[in-house]
Amino acid sequence: MKNIFINPGQLNKLSEFLSPWLAIISFIFLIFGLWLSFFYSPIDYQQGNAVRILYIHAPSAWLSMLIYSFLAINSFFGLVFGHVTAFTLARAAAPIGLTFTAICLVTGSVWGKPMWGTWWVWDARLTSVLVLFFFYIGYIIFLKSFSDFTKGEKFSSILSIIGIVNLPIIKFSVDYWNTLHQPASISKFSSPSIHIDMLIPLIVMFLSFLFLFLYILILRFQAELIIRKININNMKFYKDS
Amino acid sequence: MKDYSIYILAAYSFCFLSLILLIFLSKIYLSKSEKKLNEIDKNG
Amino acid sequence: MKSIKMVRRRKKIYRIISLLLIISISLFLIIYALRDNVIFFYSPSEVREKVAKKEIIDGSLIRLGGLVQENSFLRNNKSQIFFVITDYKKEISVVYSGILPDLFEEGQGVIAEGFLRINENSMKFPEKFSLKKNDFYFEAQTILAKHDENYMPPEVADALEMEMNDND
């Protein structure tokens, strides 16, 4: 088991096997989730049918934070233990996290215009999510801005570990400060402040997005592994000549 | 209760278009890298 | 051989942990220093407190947030809108002319962005607001509705309200 995390070849083989399954599971959840969110879910007593935006907004927000933790943890293991797999997984995860953060920001904005009366405000929650977006961009730019790719990996890993302090700020911003953004509805498991008929589509959509993330992660992992091979080959070539 | 279909349509289409674009770009990335590797293998 | 590797690893871990510690401490200090600026809006009580301390004066641009007091909403023939923002301790009367967001309702959360003004008889509030001379009111430029974290279908909301009324 331990070998899987150290030896990228093993994970690569496993990912070839997993890839179609993840795609199928994600797709099934997606169809089911879309049906739930458009036909099964009742309208909200205040928001009307605008509540349906929640079913893509909240899962992508959760994923943007989950993927960032994944990125930072992998960067940590990459830095400390020098595992190629960890570095490659972090590399592969970054664009996916960036996309989910963008989706979270845009759908939130589209919800905010009719509900709050504004596209954007600079309150603590919205600003800290925007900072998360910039951390993703910074990570990707750092990766690509060194001719020696291992150097870029090191710097961007440090950046991503620094960015982890932003996650608790995002999570607790709505509780500590007065914000326009509402506090979390599902923070208490015993009695969430969201009706069960709205909770089910939310969770199904989250599962769909989660499997979609794993599918794209594996896809990009394979690509990044090949790119790494090419890069190492090039470096050897320059050293020899 | 007002109808917010336009906003819902905008949000969902942005979401799924960007996800589809991401998958598409990732697939291209993979196939390009595979092609490159094959070329290197042939030459070296 | 192995021990050198272990020592290096431990050094790296310590370095990363100390980096994180330094950054979180400095971030905490920054947030602590800016705590008044991170706050998006003031409640009516906070505004009155700050006026007493002269931190907010006549004409200050601030955001005022709270609940729209029940039965306080009024629209006059010049399409000016009047209502009271309350936090159940203190209240402040608000005047506004513009478009209201869809979630704006009595008893719901609201954030008003605009200027605090001292009433010097120039502003005519409707009688029921009983605004005293030299008391202050709020001249809103933008109104944002604040949504709460409750999501439920209308039938459930109606049932809950009925239950509440029964308990009264």
Q: Do residues C142 and C66 both lie within one domain?
A: yes
- The pLDDT tens digits along chain A (241 residues) read 566 667 788 888 888 899 999 999 999 999 999 999 999 999 888 888 899 999 999 999 999 999 999 999 999 999 998 888 999 999 999 999 999 999 999 999 999 999 888 999 988 899 999 999 999 999 999 998 888 888 999 999 999 999 999 999 999 888 888 788 888 877 655 566 888 889 999 999 999 999 999 999 999 999 999 999 888 888 877 777 6
Let me know: does A68 contact A164? Beta carbons within 8 Å. Answer: yes
Q: CA C21, A158, B32 angle in degrees (round to 5)?
A: 155
**Does residue C27 sit in the same domain as residue C53?**
no
CA distance B39 to C8: 39
- When CB atoms are compared, the residue of B12, B18, B26 closest to A223 is B26
A-chain residues near B2 (CB < 8 A): 48, 114
Instruction: Kindly state whether residue A24 falls inside one of the protein's structural domains.
Output: yes
Chain B, nearest residue to A23 by Cα: B23
Read off the tokens for A172: 């607790």
* Residue C98 shares a structural domain with residue C133: yes
- How far apart CA A44 and CA A46 sit, in angstroms, is 5
Nearest CA in chain B to A119: B7
Contacts of C40 in chain A (CB under 8 A): 121-124, 177-180
Cβ–Cβ < 8 Å for A107, A56? yes
Phi, psi (degrees; rounded to nearest 5) at A154: -65, -50
Q: Which of B12, B23, B40 sits opposite A56 (nearest CB)?
A: B12
Structurally, how many domains does chain A consist of? 1
The answer to whether A19 faces chain B, any CB pair under 8 Å, is: no
Tokens representing C59 are: 């004409």
Residue C56: inside a domain: yes
Range of the domain at A175: 16-182+192-240
Q: Are residues C58 and C115 in the same domain?
A: yes
Residue A183 is given by DSSP the state: P
R_g over Cα of chain A: 20
Tell me if A221 is assigned to some domain: yes
What is residue A175's predicted lDDT score, i.e. its pLDDT?
82
Q: Is A193 on the interface with C (CB under 8 A)?
A: yes
The ipTM of this complex is: 0.93
Measured between beta carbons, the chain C residues lying within 8 angstroms of A196 are none
- Residue C163 inside a domain? The answer is no
Q: Would you say residue A10 lies in a domain?
A: no
Position C78 in a domain: yes
CATH number at residue C77: 2.40.50.140
Per-residue HEC secondary structure of B2-44 comes to CCCHHHHHHHHHHHHHHHHHHHHHHHHHHHHHHHHHHHHHHHC
Domain that holds residue C14: 2-36
Q: Does A2 map to a domain?
A: no
Contact A163, A132 (CB under 8 A): yes
| Whether residue C49 is found in the same domain as residue C63 | yes
Assess whether C26 and C82 both reside in one domain: no
Number of domains in chain C: 2
Nearest residue in chain C measured CA to CA from A176: C39
Q: Copy the structure tokens of residue C14.
A: 């310590």
How wide is the angle at C-alpha A46 spanned by C-alphas A45 and A47, nearest 5°? 110
Question: By the CB < 8 Å criterion, does A23 face chain B?
Answer: no
Please give the average per-residue pLDDT across C116-122, as a whole number: 75
Size of interface A-B (CB pairs under 8 A): 83
